[in-house]
Amino acid sequence: ALLAPASRPLAGRHVLVTAGPTHEPIDPVRYIANRSSGRQGYAIAEALARLGARTTLVTGPVGLPTPLGVRRIDVETADEMAAAVAAALPADAAVMVAAVADWRVAPAMHKIKKGSGAPTLSLIENPDILAAVSHAVPRPRLVVGFAAETEHVIEHAKAKLLRKGCDWIVANDVSQGVMGGPANQVHLVTRDGVETWPRDAKERVAAGLAERIADALGAES
Ligand code: CTP
Ligand code: CA
């Protein structure tokens, strides 16, 4: 069905979303990764597309179908995600939902075999994609990060906002059993303050965030 322009407030805007985990190979058969179902990020990409945005979804490995109307770019590692994000810019807004692995391993060429003692992994810090987007030229007008925390949720989110140079942080308390599940309970942390949203289905949290992004982009130019 054709939608009236008023229901597509993001028409003509390009929005970039990251979602899912990254996988950092240890050897050809093993990897390290963060826990992430990708559900919240995919729901956000779908909600943005529904509001008319040209939506690019850079996704780590998850078994989810591509959201309707979204251009999807599959990556595996944080380095690949960083490169795909840089290539997808410029954007009017960026929403970095991915659970990027903080470290990678200098991977072994061949499968590590048992029997000669447990291997020691030396870890190398991965690029911070959110911080890079926050300092990109030209910079998206709105840069949104996520923060999954298990304690001091708001304080950690405020510190992350300042450290990374983004505009908003969507913070959630993952000690509340939301990871991988259908619902989420988030706090929207901006430079102006904190809004605590009710626990709701990830699709409804996504719809609420997409509306807020449309409002923020609509307020200027
Ligand atoms: N992020 C990113 N690139 C990274 C690490 C994180 O883009 N290498 C993004 C995430 O997508 C998220 C935000 O930064 O939007 C916060 O991620 P988080 O892991 O909470 O922050 P860190 O700075 O890695 O801090 P820590 O894991 O120590 O809490
Ligand atoms: Ca991290």
**How high is the ipTM of this complex?**
0.98
Q: Are strands 103-105 and 123-125 parallel, antiparallel or unpaired?
A: antiparallel
User: Which pLDDT tens digit goes with each residue over 5-24?
Assistant: 778 999 999 999 999 999 99
Q: What pLDDT, on a 0 to 100 scale, did the predictor assign at position 3?
A: 56
Average pLDDT over all residues of the chain: 94
The residue nearest atom 12 of ligand 1, judged by CA position, is: 146
Q: Residue 205's Cα: distance from chain center in Å?
A: 14
Strands (E), the chain: 14-19, 23-27, 30-33, 54-59, 70-74, 93-96, 103-105, 123-125, 142-149, 168-173, 183-184, 186-190, 193-196, 200-201
Decide: helix, strand or coil at residue 16: strand
> Cα dihedral angle (85, 90, 40, 51), rounded to 10 degrees?
-150
Ligand 1 proximity of 96 Cβ (cutoff 6 Å): yes
Tokens of 193: 């303050």
Q: What pLDDT, on a 0 to 100 scale, did the predictor assign at position 4?
A: 56
User: Which pLDDT tens digit goes with each residue over 119-168?
Assistant: 999 999 999 999 999 999 999 999 999 999 999 999 999 999 999 999 99
Q: Which residues are annotated as catalytic?
A: 34
- Which residue type, as a one-letter code, is found at position 70? V
Question: What is the crossing angle of helices 202-218 and 39-50, to 10°?
Answer: 50
Ligand 1 proximity of 126 Cβ (cutoff 6 Å): yes
Tokens of 80: 């690949």
The pTM is what?
0.95
pLDDT surpasses 70 at 111: yes
The values of phi and psi at residue 111, to 5°, are -55, 130
The residue nearest atom 28 of ligand 1, judged by CA position, is: 102
Ligand 1 pocket, mutate which of 32, 97, 128, 155 (most atoms under 8 A from CB): 128
Rounded CA gap, 94 and 145, in Å?
A: 8
* Cβ–Cβ under 8 Å, residues 67 and 20: no
